[in-house]
């Protein structure tokens, strides 16, 4: 284990590419460079609120035992071998070209090398202004920082590819935020999260040099990304093969989001990881009642571009933007277009395999695919709590005889009692399901085991996050600590105090259902 202050950091990105080394933090366009030097702006009183012991152990980082170590996590200390910077990237936001964006409140301190030789970027979110902050202050509030810290770790334990969070630090400063962009700004306690990932490169990092026709920068970035993060890809056609792998990783990520009911809320191209990770936790949510049209982002209304059920299609659209950015490296676009058109087949093959696992079915044949489609249509009509419904489905007694017995079994998953037609639909669906289970060759226990491995029992619901945030703001960290532990084992019944539907009051309380991009 090594201290943050004594580590010799690597800085391969900074040393490989041209950057703006002036250190000036005023907002500006930075053509010709892929990053700008950006030193964190000190805060009043960095105080460690949370530390991911498992991630620290994986990285070989010793937990801070002095103010000096905590000062690094709060941006008040930069060691001699760190070369902090903010990345320059562009993006399509809500389907429209937004031009230069960049790290507006994230500063990468350096690259931490582990014993295997693999490196991880350590990045502070909320550490102050950068040249890409535009009209913002580069800060983050406790509310959004708790959400980022807990959810990135929760997704990791759910088995979903994600960036991680090492620490959560209170800054001692107050930050002005308009939570819903409605003119009701208020001061909130500030905080900083240290985020960790092999790389924070996004689709937008490649869109930026392409848009500026900086083809040499684009080619250099692509070649470096492949050699560093996809070293198994070589040869003259490596760029095309790399794009195909990014596409496949992205499709697999979407399948995982759909499996656990995660809704990102703001799938702009600058929020799409080139490594296929979940990145940038803002107005996200898990599904409560099953609704493919649900979006947790107030900014996404009324179009619902980033609604739960649209995420796979939006991922393909975003991959199309990445393909357009890579097009200058090809003599023609035919191969890129063909690769992009292959997305649907890849996604649906992975999706139906995932759904078969959620349902405990052994085969992904034509009949089961048709059943899965009908099953999902039934869920859309019935609108049960997605997480609880699948848990009850795994425990469904196969001998239930009538509609009422079936309705009673699933009672705890419904936010509103099903009417007569819905009870009939539920009964018919479960009977068809039991028939499908009967075609499995393995014992029922094997089916249940597969279901429990693919269906989380505990999810980090927004109302729980809201309650934990309120507790921390008032000095009570008990719920936060409980959640931090519970999310490490979300497939078991060890934390069944959190196995419950969203309460009625949470549908109307700010931050418990809908959130804004500032969340």
**400 falls in which pLDDT band (50, 70, 90)?**
confident
Give residue-wise pLDDT tens across range 70-97: 999 999 999 999 999 999 999 999 999 9
173 Ramachandran zone, left/alpha/beta (phi>0; psi -120 to 50): beta
Q: In this predicted structure, what is the pLDDT of residue 111?
A: 98
Mean pLDDT of the region 350-365: 97
Boundaries of every domain in the chain: 12-200, 213-352, 363-439, 462-507
* 8 A C-beta contact, residue 191 and residue 126: yes
Mean pLDDT, rounded, for 491-518: 87
Give 518's pLDDT tier (boundaries 50, 70, 90).
low
Using DSSP, state whether 381 is helix, strand or coil.
Answer: helix
pLDDT range class, residue 519, cuts 50, 70, 90: very low
Catalytic residue among 71, 103, 256, 270: 270
Which of these, 177, 258, 288, 282, lies nearest to 513 by C-alpha position? Answer: 288
pLDDT at residue 183, rounded to an integer:
75
Whole-number Cα distances in Å, 220 to 141, 224, 320, 321: 36, 6, 21, 19
Q: CB neighbours of 496 closer than 8 A, spacing ≥ 6?
A: 457
Q: Cα separation of 189 and 160, whole Å? A: 30
The pLDDT, as a whole number, for residue 180 is 66
Tokens for 214? 């900086």
pLDDT at residue 373 is higher than 50: yes
**Which neighbouring-strand residues pair with 297?**
515
CB neighbourhood size of 114 (10 A): 13
Confidence of residue 181 (pLDDT cuts 50, 70, 90): low
Q: Return left, alpha or beta for 133; rule: phi > 0 is left, psi -120 to 50 is alpha, else beta.
A: alpha
312 CB-near residues (< 8 Å, 6+ apart):
251, 254, 255, 258, 347, 351
Q: Alpha-carbon distance 250 to 276, whole Å?
A: 5
Cβ contact 132:36 at 8 Å: yes
Q: Which helix (H) or strand (E) holds 226?
A: helix 215-229
Measure the CA–CA gap between 27 and 310, rounded to whole angstroms.
34
Measured in degrees and rounded to the nearest 5, phi and psi for residue 336 equal: -65, -45
Neighbours of 477 (CB within 10 A): 14
Q: Distance (Å, rounded) from C-alpha 237 to C-alpha 247?
A: 16
Q: How confident is the model at residue 508 (pLDDT cuts 50, 70, 90)?
A: confident
Average pLDDT of the segment spanning 436-455: 96
Told to judge if 270 belongs to the known catalytic residues of this protein, a careful annotator would answer yes
Mean pLDDT for the chain?
A: 96
Contact 212, 29 (CB under 8 A): no
Report the candidate in 365, 353, 267, 369 with the shortest Cα–Cα distance to residue 309.
267
Residue 436 has pLDDT above 50, yes or no: yes
Give the least confident one: 95-104, 290-299, 500-509.
500-509
pLDDT surpassing 80 at residue 432: yes
pLDDT at 470 over 50: yes
Give this prediction's pTM.
0.97
| Residue 171 pLDDT | 97
Looking at residue 511, its pLDDT comes to 79
Does position 162 have pLDDT exceeding 50, yes or no? yes
Question: For the chain, how many residues are written?
Answer: 519
Classified as helix, coil or strand, 123 is strand
Question: 454 and 255 in contact (C-beta within 8 Å)?
Answer: no
Residue 374 has pLDDT above 60, yes or no: yes
Closest CA to 82 of 37, 129, 117: 37
How many C-beta neighbours within 10 Å does residue 117 have? Answer: 6
pLDDT tops 80 at residue 179: no
CA geometry: angle 339, 292, 312, nearest 5 deg: 10
Percentage of residues of the chain with pLDDT beyond 70: 99
Percent of the residues in the chain that have a pLDDT greater than 90, as a whole number? 94
pLDDT at position 10 is: 98
pLDDT grade, residue 141 (50/70/90)?
very high
Tokens standing for 98?
A: 């937004």
| pLDDT of amino acid 203 | 98
- Does the pLDDT at position 178 exceed 90? no
Strand order in the sheet with 186-197: 35-37, 85-87, 106-113, 119-125, 186-197, 164-177, 47-51
Would you give the distance in Å from CA 202 to the centre of its chain? 13
Whether residue 186 is predicted with pLDDT greater than 70 in this model: the reply is yes
Q: Collect all residues with Cβ–Cβ distance below 8 Å to 98 and sequence separation of at least 6.
A: 90, 91, 92, 268, 270
């Amino acid at each position: 284990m090594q201290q943050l202050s004594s580590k010799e950091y690597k800085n391969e990105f900074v040393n490989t590419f041209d950057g703006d080394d002036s250190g000036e933090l005023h907002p500006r366009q930075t053509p010709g460079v892929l990053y700008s030097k950006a030193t964190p702006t000190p805060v009043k009183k960095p105080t460690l609120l949370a530390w991911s012991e498992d991630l620290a152990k994986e990285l070989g980082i010793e937990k801070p035992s002095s103010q000096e170590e905590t000062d690094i996590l709060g941006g008040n200390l930069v060691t001699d071998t760190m070369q902090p910077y903010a990345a320059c990237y562009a993006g399509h936001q809500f389907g429209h070209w937004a031009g230069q964006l960049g790290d507006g409140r994230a500063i990468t301190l350096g690259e931490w090398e582990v014993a295997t030789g693999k490196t991880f970027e350590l990045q502070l979110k909320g550490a102050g202004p950068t040249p890409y902050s535009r009209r913002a202050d580069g800060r983050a509030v406790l509310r959004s920082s708790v959400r980022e810290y807990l959810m990135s770790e929760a997704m990791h334990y759910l088995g979903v590819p994600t960036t991680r969070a090492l620490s959560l630090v209170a800054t001692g400063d107050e930050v002005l935020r308009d939570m819903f962009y409605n003119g009701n700004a208020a001061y909130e306690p500030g905080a900083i999260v240290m985020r960790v990932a092999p790389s924070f490169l996004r689709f937008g990092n490649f869109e930026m040099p392409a848009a500026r026709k900086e083809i040499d920068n684009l080619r250099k970035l692509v070649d470096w990304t492949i050699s560093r993060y996809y070293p198994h890809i070589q040869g003259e056609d490596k760029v095309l093969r790399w794009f195909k792998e990014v596409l496949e990783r992205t499709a697999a990520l979407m399948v995982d989001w759909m499996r656990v009911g995660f809704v990102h809320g703001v799938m702009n191209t600058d929020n799409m990881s080139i490594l296929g990770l979940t990145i940038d936790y803002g107005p996200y949510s898990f599904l409560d009642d099953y609704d493919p049209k649900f979006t947790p982002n107030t900014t996404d209304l009324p179009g619902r571009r980033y609604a739960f059920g649209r995420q796979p299609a939006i991922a393909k659209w975003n991959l199309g933007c990445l393909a357009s950015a890579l097009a200058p490296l090809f003599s023609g676009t035919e191969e890129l277009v063909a690769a992009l058109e292959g997305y649907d087949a890849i996604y649906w093959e992975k999706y139906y395999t995932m759904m078969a696992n959620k349902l405990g079915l052994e085969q992904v044949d034509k009949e089961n695919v048709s059943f899965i489609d009908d099953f999902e249509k039934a869920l859309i009509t019935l609108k049960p709590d997605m997480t609880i419904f699948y848990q009850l489905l795994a425990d469904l007694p196969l001998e239930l005889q009538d509609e009422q017995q079936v309705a009673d079994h699933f009672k705890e998953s419904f936010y509103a009692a099903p009417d007569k037609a819905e009870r009939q639909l539920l009964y018919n669906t479960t009977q068809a399901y039991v028939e499908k289970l009967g075609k499995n060759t393995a014992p029922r226990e094997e089916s249940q085991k597969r279901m429990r491995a693919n269906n989380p029992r505990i999810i980090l619901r927004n109302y729980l996050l809201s309650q934990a945030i309120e507790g921390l703001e008032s000095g009570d960290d008990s719920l936060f600590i409980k959640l931090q532990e519970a999310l490490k084992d979300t497939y078991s019944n060890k934390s069944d105090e959190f196995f419950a539907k969203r309460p009625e009051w949470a549908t109307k309380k700010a931050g418990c259902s809908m959130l804004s991009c500032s969340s």
